[in-house]
A and B are shown apart, each in its own frame.
Chain A
Amino acid sequence: MPRPFRSGARAVTAGLTAVALVALAGCGAADMTKQSSPFAGARGARTVTLSVQSWVGAQANVAVATYLLEHELDYRVDTVQVDEVPAWDALSQGRVDAILEDWGHPDQEKRYVEDKKTIVRAGGLGVTGHIGWFVPTYFAREHPDVTDWKNLNRYAKMLRTPESGGKGQLMDGSPSYVTNDKALVANLKLDYQVVFAGSEAAQITQMKQFAKQHKPYLTYWYQPQWLFRKVPMTEVKLPPYKEGCDADTARITCAYPRTPLQKYLNAGFARDGGRAAGLLRKFHWTTEDQNEVSLMIADQKMSPDEAAKKWVDGHRSVWKRWLS
């Protein structure tokens, strides 16, 4: 007797549809751009979620901010590793509350800060970033003229690897980083192949291995970076940067600019974040400070928390100002 079952099912379906419609109409809109992380604010704690980018300098900022928020202001801090551009989206949605180190993303800034007003600027970090091409100092000492781009082609043969297919290898890192290297190599007519390591971790591992073997290499790298203390590197001079020379990235022929790194907060957090938002706004330190913490994390393999504690204990006067 299948009939009763069928009509019953139909009734159930109709009922469910009705309930769903009522629920939708009754509850109104659910704006997912205003949903915070499910792990935030557990057990009544006040929580701040910080975005960590994949490089160690960013980890150092976050470690110190976390330490101060947790020990001085009694917040609970969650960290999420997000790449640079998606971090803007996450910040605008409130999935993270702050980005502490941004290397300049004009498109995102226009979209979220100026148009949608979901993100606000929170001042500079105090650290100036610079991207460039580097060779290890031991190599530059043996061949001083390698530090000028005009002489690079003469060294292409020495910088060959199995991956670079008969040309010299210029190693690039994570795909999330700002890079014009492919265009630069083509436009400056260099006999080099850009090889993407795919992640900063892979790139660092490879550079350390090269340094151990005392082998020459040419790499895309940036300052401030803790690895310079472990593997001293010398910058290769590219044609100098002039305002606006990087406007057309396909025809670019100049070096990378120096960027004062910026902080950004979610607009809602900036408004209601209380002392935590205040601390993150005032957070401002120097390249040396950041390097000190980075080196403790990446080289001495201290946990970010321990490294932060050590720095905080030694620099009371610096961070006291952030709390006022």
Chain B
Amino acid sequence: MAAATAQAPVAGTLAPLRATGRRRAAAKLLALAVLAAVLVPLAEAHWPGGAWPGALTVDLSGPLGRASDWIIDNRDSHPLFLYFFGYVSNAIVVGVRAVYLVLLAAGWAGVTAAAGLVAWRLAGLRLALTAAAAFLVCGLLGMWVPTMQTLALMVVAVLASVLVGGLLGLAAGLSERTHRVLRPVLDTMQVLPAFAYLLPVVLVFGIGVPAAVLATVVYAAPPMARLTALGLRDADQGVMEAVASLGATARQRLFTARLPLALGELMLGVNQAIMMALSMAVIASVIGAGGLGDRVYQALASVDVGAALAAGIPIVLLAVVLDRTTGAAGERLGAGRDVPRGPLRGWAGWLLVAVLTVAAALAARLAGRLDWPGSWEVDIAEPVNRAVDWMTGHLYTGVPYVGGTADWAGHFTTWVLDPVRSGLQWLPWWAVLLIVAALSWLIGTWRTALTAVLAMAAIGVLGVWKPSLDTLSQVLAAVAVTLVLGFAAGVAAARSTRLERWFRPVLDVLQTMPQFVYLIPVVALFGVGRAPAVAAAVVYALPAVVRITTQGVRTVDAAALEAARSLGATGGQQLRQVQLPLARPALLLAVNQGVVLVLAVVIIGGLVGGGALGYDVVFGLAQGDLATGLVAGAAIVCLGLMLDRVTQPTERRAGKGA
């Protein structure tokens, strides 16, 4: 997931930077103040009042509604659909179907054997056992067929993402101009909530697997493109020079030097594409993806957390297995060595994998056990539901001294969410723009500030100023909670290895568990409204923040720490005066990641009473009212862009350029 963008902080160079930085910040603020002094009275004279002026909005519902009607009426006759989108859709259906049939033909024995053997070939024996066990658990949970459907969809979506992302990355890696054009686009796509992608795809393709695959590709291709470009551009200059001096053609240079050198990044890109695609599996079920995601979605309709978990666990397992396998393969390829030991080496190894897989599949078929036997299934739904019932029954209200979760939620809503929301909505619109400009300019350049302000202004122009500020207030509250908890846990984990070891599996699960699974327990604990949306967002964003904080604090320059220790600083002093200041870049990154992840879930919170933009998107999808949904989706895009620019330090984009 997105957390993989963490990088080691640049330590030891901060003190001189900060002095000049402060002077520059003052200059920027002064410039803004002058600008505001000129523009604000003008704006105030033209459009008095606090909310976004009605004269500056554009009503898109008419044209959008007509466009949607036109598409539905012409989908079976217009050449654009018959000769282009029709083929795209057809190719996806055929592809998914082909993979699905192969998986079914292999049967559970064949698929499990293949997973284990491929993992062995790529990553060693331990992962092989994990992979095989994971698939057996999917069967045990009674989820074999949905798992295969999801897997078929994932295979096609990931292949398409790798292909599209790889080609884009290749273009960006080889041509400076393409890189300059693509970079901001990819940057932006990376921060958008998945929910915002659904509507445009549904508009063209209708509900179903093609739409689900395409939404997944749009979501999963950007990291592949970024990492490919990064790998190609970072190729060792010395090697390139040597190859060129040997008289290699451009094509030879690319295939014999640049691509092999970038192999590590390419595999990391594949790994990221897989993780993003899997995290989309459940969200895409809203537009008809089928498979595991659909099981989670259906279980939620009958408020059956246990059944939702039974379908959620296979997703987590798939994610863990694929992540570890591709990660290990990437490390090996990047280091330029093959699997060192064991019988599975070289091409003969692959042949052996294929032969053993076919043998396993045939054996199961001959034994008449091609389908997963129903008697081997275990029902976990009931005990889980009982546990959830007990928890919500006892924690909801009236717990002595601390009060119940519902009371907390009520207080949180009245004392935090309501004041923040009414505060934001009370601010005049130009003041909001000014604050956005000031924050993003202080942390970035005038360019990023301009992007942020324009994005915020676009929200006003779209006519969804008020609901957007409502969503923003939820994001701010959730980010605050996430950061307090995340920094505390992260610092604690950085100081205690044992604690970190305890955290790791929990964080793994929280990060890959589909958000839909914990939406219902969250409602049972916090009631319907904005509080459960905030709670779900905190749960989702916390792992990334904890991870980045831990890593940032831990990788602080050892020499600086040693120096502080020799001066007799206590543990607390070391933390406050050395570790935290030096980990500042990592902490800023944690804030940025936290904001992006929180926004993604606050939107999904529209399903549990979060209201605002999230509700509008859900409404648009549910009613086929694309005007409402698309406008809200666009506003979410703008909000995400603004929040990212306001929290993203410029060092990061200047540093790596990927």
Contact = CB atoms under 8 A, between A and B. Distances in A.
Interface of A: 1-2, 4-5, 24, 27, 29-39, 42-43, 52, 54-56, 59, 78-90, 93, 95, 111, 161-163, 165, 171, 174-176, 195-206, 208-209, 212-213, 297-298, 301, 303
Contact of A202 (B76, B297, B528): B528
A82 B207 contact: yes
Given A32-B205, A175-B623, A212 B303 contact: no
Given A86-B207, A162-B414, A196-B609, A39 B100 contact: yes
B466 to A, nearest CB: 14
A226 to B, nearest CB: 9
B529 interface: yes
B174 to A, nearest CB: 12
B332 to A, nearest CB: 31
A134 B621 CA distance: 27
A301 B288 contact: no
A83 B629 CA distance: 14
5 contacts: A90-B288, A163-B529, A195-B528, A199-B607, A202-B519
Contacts of A34: 76
B301 A32 contact: no
Of all A-B residue pairs in the complex, the 8 with the closest CB atoms, nearest first, are A176-B622, A30-B86, A29-B82, A38-B97, A162-B413, A85-B624, A175-B619, A38-B96
Interface string B296-323: 0110111110110000000000000000
Contact of B288 (A82, A161, A200): A82
Given A27-B87, A56-B302, A175-B622, 15 more contacts: A5-B250, A29-B79, A30-B90, A32-B210, A33-B76, A39-B209, A42-B100, A55-B301, A81-B297, A86-B621, A198-B528, A199-B618, A206-B523, A212-B393, A301-B304
Interface of B: 72, 75-76, 79, 81-83, 85-87, 89-90, 92-94, 96-97, 100-101, 104-105, 149, 152, 202, 205-210, 247, 249-251, 285, 287-288, 290, 294, 297-298, 300-304, 306-307, 381-382, 385, 392-393, 396-397, 406, 409-410, 413-414, 418, 519-520, 523-524, 527-532, 605-611, 614-615, 618-619, 621-625
A111 to B, nearest CB: 7
B152 A38 contact: yes
Contacts of B210: 32, 35
Contact of B75 (A33, A84, A205): A33
A153 B396 CA distance: 29
A111 B529 CA distance: 36
A193 to B, nearest CB: 11
Contact of B608 (A4, A83, A111, A198): A198
A209 B396 contact: yes
Contact of B609 (A4, A84, A198): A198
B249 A203 contact: no
Nearest to B529: A163
B624 A89 contact: yes
A163 B83 contact: no
A196 B605 CA distance: 11
B46 to A, nearest CB: 31
A199 B83 contact: no
Given A31-B86, A301-B381, A86 B622 contact: yes
Nearest to A108: B624
B607 A56 contact: no
Nearest to A34: B76
The residue in A43, A83, A163, A213 that gathers the most chain B C-beta atoms within 10 A of its C-beta is A163
A59 B298 contact: yes
Contacts of B86: 29-32
Contacts of A30: 82-83, 86-87, 89-90
B303 A161 contact: no
The residue in B83, B385, B410 that gathers the most chain A C-beta atoms within 10 A of its C-beta is B83
A209 B527 contact: yes
Contact of B528 (A24, A59, A88, A163): A163
B619 A93 contact: no
B528 A197 contact: yes
A30 B77 CA distance: 10
Given A82-B207, A89-B207, A162-B413, A201 B397 contact: no
Nearest to B99: A38
A85 B622 contact: yes
Contact of B606 (A78, A84, A162, A198): A198
A202 B298 contact: no
Contacts of B249: 1-2, 4-5
Contacts of B72: 89, 111
Contacts of A84: 622
B16 to A, nearest CB: 45
B519 A196 contact: no
B528 A203 contact: yes
Nearest to B96: A38
Nearest to A174: B622
Contacts of A205: 303, 520, 523-524, 528
A211 B421 CA distance: 30
Contacts of A79: 294, 298
A303 B374 CA distance: 14
Given A176-B623, A301-B382, A78 B83 contact: no
Contacts of B79: 29
Contacts of A200: 301
Contacts of B418: 162, 165
Contacts of B396: 209, 212-213
A27 B618 CA distance: 38
A199 B302 CA distance: 11
A259 to B, nearest CB: 17
A135 B396 CA distance: 21
B288 A32 contact: no
A38 B519 contact: no
A286 to B, nearest CB: 21
Contact of A42 (B101, B287, B297): B101
Contacts of A89: 72, 206-207, 624
Contacts of A297: 302
Contact of A95 (B206, B605, B606, B608): B206
Contacts of A87: 207
B527 A206 contact: yes
A33 B208 CA distance: 11
B644 to A, nearest CB: 26
B306 to A, nearest CB: 7
Nearest to A24: B83
B607 A198 contact: yes
A85 B152 CA distance: 27
B542 to A, nearest CB: 22
A78 B610 CA distance: 32
A195 B413 CA distance: 14
A84 B622 CA distance: 7
Contact of B303 (A29, A42, A298): A298
B623 A35 contact: no
A13 to B, nearest CB: 13
A209 B524 contact: yes
The residue in A4, A80, A198, A298 that gathers the most chain B C-beta atoms within 10 A of its C-beta is A198
A202 B529 CA distance: 9
A57 to B, nearest CB: 10
Contacts of A90: 206-208, 288
A164 to B, nearest CB: 9
Contacts of B94: 38
Contacts of A95: 206-208, 288
B618 A201 contact: no
A74 to B, nearest CB: 15
Given A39-B290, A78-B290, A89-B206, A199 B608 contact: yes
Given A37-B290, A85-B624, A213-B397, A161 B304 contact: no
Contacts of A162: 409-410, 413-414, 418, 529, 531
Contacts of B605: 198
A93 B618 CA distance: 22
Contacts of B290: 37, 39, 78, 80
